[in-house]
Amino acid sequence: MITLRKLASIVGGKVIGAPDLVIHGVSDIKRGAPKTITFLFNPKQKELISQTSASAIIVSDAALLNEKSGIVVSNPRLAMAKVLKLFEPSNDIEIEIHPTAIIHKSAQIGKNVNVGAFTIVGRNTQIANGTTIKNNVSIAENVIIGNNVTIHPQVAIYSRVNIGDNVIIDMGTVIGSCGYGYETENDIHHKIPQIGSVIIERNVEIGANCTIDRGTINNTIVGQGTKLDNLVHVAHNVKIGKGCLLMGLVGIAGGTTVGDYCILAGQVGVTNGVIIGDRAVFVAKTGVTKSLPGNKIYAGMPAREIHEKNKRDAAYFQILSLKKRLKILEEKLAD
């Protein structure tokens, strides 16, 4: 049983209304259900509070509640994450190594490790305690996997990859595949061997159907706490700092360095060999063609500081408007 008072202590908020109100679940504010708690992220939509049937609402301002029970916090979205974690459906897995799993006799398997059906673990691979590897996963030789890692079905991990503690890898992702490198002579493309590997540091989350290529000589590195959305491609020799957010369809070309706590929104593309400073933010569909300093917001192709991009866009539309007016004037003079 979870009361409103208990939820407030978990999310670090202040109770308004009935602290002993029992909460049985979570609902969307537009489809609120009795005995549940919901959230209001945008104060401009405060009319939703009077319309919802939810018994309590998490808000950023007590005045929004309008005599309803709720919790006031500074960041309702962060509070939502904490509350949803409490009500997340149980996913208890019986610890076992499935009889169809193929594990090389030289592999080292820690305590409380779960290995699903038809999974393959190569020679000299090490899997630490509490790790869950689901069905149809392919893990090559000499791989190191840390504690409490979760690897979902149909993931492929190539040789010598090193995965830190508490990493989550979603379905269909490939780590350690060959980097894309060719040298052309007389119209013949000579493949460059990729002999490095990949290091995934602790607390990284990798979405579905991502690809992280191994390095040519040095390793490709994804820094601790970085989160990759689905369909992200990280090329050979890329170094991504800690705490970065890479959203869907981001592509980072070989040899690029991304600083700490950077944000790359959907469909951002980064050319090879550039250096991006810490805490740089790139809006959707930005094209990064050169090294850029951190602590700035960029947009456009090629990437420019967003205020410069907006000025250029405004000037462009002003020119179009002027051309249209000149054409009208010319037609009048011609008459």
List residues with catalytic annotation.
236
Other CB atoms within a 10 A radius of the CB of residue 141 amount to 15
Q: Quote the CA–CA distance of 57 and 6 in Å, as a whole number.
A: 14
Which of 77, 68, 27, 74 lies closest to 47, judged by CA?
Answer: 68
Other CB atoms within a 10 A radius of the CB of residue 333 amount to 7
Q: Quote the CA–CA distance of 143 and 287 in Å, as a whole number.
A: 34
**C-alpha distance from residue 242 to each of 117, 128, 204, 224, 264 (Å):** 33, 23, 9, 5, 13
The DSSP letter of residue 231 is S
Distance of CA 106 to the CA centre of its chain: 34
Quick one: tokens of 321? 């408007």
Phi, psi of 108 (to 5 degrees): -110, 120
Q: Quote the CA–CA distance of 16 and 8 in Å, as a whole number.
A: 10
Q: Point out which residues pair with 151 in neighbouring strands.
A: 133, 169
Report the largest interatomic distance among the alpha carbons of the chain, rounded to a whole angstrom.
92
Are the C-beta atoms of residues 144 and 126 closer than 8 Å to each other?
yes
Helix axes 4-11, 76-87, angle to 10 degrees: 120
Other CB atoms within a 10 A radius of the CB of residue 127 amount to 24
Helices (H), the chain: 4-11, 47-51, 76-87, 306-334
